[in-house]
Protein backbone atom coordinates (compact mmCIF):
# COMPACT_ATOMS: atom_id res chain seq x y z
CA UNK A 1 0.00 0.00 0.00
CA UNK A 2 1.30 3.47 -0.81
CA UNK A 3 2.04 5.81 2.08
CA UNK A 4 -1.53 7.06 2.58
CA UNK A 5 -3.73 6.86 5.64
CA UNK A 6 -7.06 5.30 4.74
CA UNK A 7 -10.28 6.64 6.21
CA UNK A 8 -12.29 4.32 8.42
CA UNK A 9 -14.65 3.31 5.58
CA UNK A 10 -11.79 2.97 3.03
CA UNK A 11 -10.00 0.62 5.44
CA UNK A 12 -13.16 -1.38 6.22
CA UNK A 13 -13.90 -1.90 2.53
CA UNK A 14 -10.42 -2.49 1.11
CA UNK A 15 -8.81 -4.37 4.00
CA UNK A 16 -11.74 -6.09 5.73
CA UNK A 17 -13.90 -6.82 2.67
CA UNK A 18 -16.87 -4.77 3.85
CA UNK A 19 -19.25 -2.90 1.54
CA UNK A 20 -20.15 0.77 1.57
CA UNK A 21 -23.90 1.45 1.74
CA UNK A 22 -25.59 1.70 -1.68
CA UNK A 23 -25.94 5.22 -3.09
CA UNK A 24 -23.58 6.53 -0.39
CA UNK A 25 -20.69 7.48 -2.67
CA UNK A 26 -20.95 10.98 -4.13
CA UNK A 27 -19.94 9.74 -7.57
CA UNK A 28 -17.20 10.65 -9.97
CA UNK A 29 -16.89 13.26 -12.69
CA UNK A 30 -18.19 12.18 -16.09
CA UNK A 31 -15.03 13.00 -18.00
CA UNK A 32 -12.29 10.90 -19.57
CA UNK A 33 -9.96 9.28 -17.09
CA UNK A 34 -8.97 6.19 -15.15
CA UNK A 35 -10.10 4.84 -11.84
CA UNK A 36 -7.18 3.74 -9.67
CA UNK A 37 -6.89 1.70 -6.50
CA UNK A 38 -7.19 3.88 -3.37
CA UNK A 39 -4.44 1.79 -1.73
CA UNK A 40 -1.73 1.40 -4.38
CA UNK A 41 -2.76 3.79 -7.21
CA UNK A 42 -2.69 1.08 -9.90
CA UNK A 43 -5.07 1.73 -12.80
CA UNK A 44 -8.13 -0.52 -12.56
CA UNK A 45 -10.97 0.80 -14.74
CA UNK A 46 -11.42 3.32 -17.56
CA UNK A 47 -14.19 5.91 -17.51
CA UNK A 48 -15.18 4.61 -20.97
CA UNK A 49 -16.29 1.32 -19.33
CA UNK A 50 -18.31 2.99 -16.53
CA UNK A 51 -22.10 2.91 -16.74
CA UNK A 52 -25.12 3.54 -14.54
CA UNK A 53 -26.47 0.17 -13.41
CA UNK A 54 -28.93 1.51 -10.84
CA UNK A 55 -27.33 -0.77 -8.23
CA UNK A 56 -26.09 2.05 -5.99
CA UNK A 57 -22.39 1.39 -6.63
CA UNK A 58 -20.11 2.43 -9.51
CA UNK A 59 -20.38 -0.17 -12.28
CA UNK A 60 -17.97 -1.05 -15.05
CA UNK A 61 -18.26 -3.53 -17.92
CA UNK A 62 -14.54 -4.42 -17.99
CA UNK A 63 -11.30 -3.68 -16.11
CA UNK A 64 -8.73 -1.46 -17.83
CA UNK A 65 -6.58 -4.56 -18.60
CA UNK A 66 -7.21 -8.28 -18.11
CA UNK A 67 -4.72 -8.46 -15.26
CA UNK A 68 -5.64 -5.22 -13.44
CA UNK A 69 -8.02 -7.06 -11.14
CA UNK A 70 -8.28 -10.62 -9.87
CA UNK A 71 -11.24 -12.59 -8.59
CA UNK A 72 -11.93 -15.15 -5.88
CA UNK A 73 -15.00 -17.04 -4.74
CA UNK A 74 -16.82 -15.27 -1.91
CA UNK A 75 -19.11 -17.51 0.18
CA UNK A 76 -19.98 -14.90 2.81
CA UNK A 77 -23.49 -13.79 3.79
CA UNK A 78 -25.06 -17.10 2.69
CA UNK A 79 -24.33 -16.42 -0.99
CA UNK A 80 -21.81 -17.50 -3.58
CA UNK A 81 -20.40 -14.46 -5.38
CA UNK A 82 -17.25 -13.52 -7.23
CA UNK A 83 -15.14 -11.04 -5.29
CA UNK A 84 -13.00 -8.53 -7.20
CA UNK A 85 -9.74 -7.29 -5.75
CA UNK A 86 -6.76 -5.25 -6.96
CA UNK A 87 -4.32 -7.65 -8.56
CA UNK A 88 -1.38 -5.57 -7.30
CA UNK A 89 -2.13 -5.03 -3.59
CA UNK A 90 -5.11 -7.39 -3.08
CA UNK A 91 -7.41 -4.60 -1.80
CA UNK A 92 -11.07 -5.67 -1.85
CA UNK A 93 -12.94 -3.66 -4.51
CA UNK A 94 -16.37 -5.27 -4.83
CA UNK A 95 -17.95 -8.08 -6.85
CA UNK A 96 -18.56 -8.99 -10.48
CA UNK A 97 -21.91 -10.25 -11.75
CA UNK A 98 -23.04 -11.70 -15.08
CA UNK A 99 -25.88 -9.21 -15.63
CA UNK A 100 -23.97 -6.40 -17.34
CA UNK A 101 -24.26 -4.89 -20.80
CA UNK A 102 -23.05 -6.49 -24.04
CA UNK A 103 -20.55 -7.37 -25.24
CA UNK A 104 -18.94 -8.54 -21.95
CA UNK A 105 -22.19 -9.23 -20.10
CA UNK A 106 -20.32 -8.37 -16.89
CA UNK A 107 -21.08 -5.82 -14.18
CA UNK A 108 -18.09 -4.99 -12.02
CA UNK A 109 -19.94 -3.58 -9.00
CA UNK A 110 -17.21 -1.62 -7.21
CA UNK A 111 -17.20 0.28 -3.92
CA UNK A 112 -16.63 3.96 -4.73
CA UNK A 113 -14.38 4.43 -1.68
CA UNK A 114 -11.97 1.82 -3.10
CA UNK A 115 -11.30 4.03 -6.13
CA UNK A 116 -9.63 7.33 -6.97
CA UNK A 117 -10.38 9.15 -10.22
CA UNK A 118 -7.49 10.35 -12.36
CA UNK A 119 -8.51 12.74 -15.17
CA UNK A 120 -6.75 12.32 -18.54
Instruction: Kindly report, residue by residue over 72-87, the tens digit of the pLDDT.
Output: 999 988 999 999 999 9
The whole-angstrom separation of Cα 82 and Cα 41 is 23
Give how many domains the chain has, as a whole number.
Answer: 1
For position 1, what pLDDT does the model report?
46
φ, ψ for residue 76 (rounded to 5)?
A: -80, 165
Q: Exposure of 103 by Cβ count < 10 A (0-12 exposed, 13-18 middle, 19+ buried)?
A: exposed
Q: Within a domain: residue 3?
A: no
**Does residue 2 carry a pLDDT above 70?**
no
Q: Within a domain: residue 24?
A: no
Task: Report the 10 Å Cβ neighbour count for 17.
Answer: 15
pTM: 0.92
Is residue 86 annotated as part of the catalytic site, yes or no?
no
Kindly state the percentage of the chain with pLDDT values over 90. 88
Owning domain of residue 105:
8-19+31-119
The whole-angstrom separation of Cα 94 and Cα 92 is 6
**57: closest CA among 106, 112, 105?**
112
User: What CATH code is carried by the domain that includes residue 67?
Assistant: 2.170.150.20
Q: Within a domain: residue 2?
A: no
Q: Within a domain: residue 1?
A: no
For residues 26 and 21, which has the higher predicted lDDT (pLDDT)?
21
Task: Report angle CA 78, 112, 79 to the nearest 5 degrees.
Answer: 10
Q: Within a domain: residue 115?
A: yes
Amino acid sequence: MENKKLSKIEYAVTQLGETEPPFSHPGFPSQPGQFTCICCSKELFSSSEKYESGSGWPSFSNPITKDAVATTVDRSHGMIRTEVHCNHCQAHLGHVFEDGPAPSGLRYCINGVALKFKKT
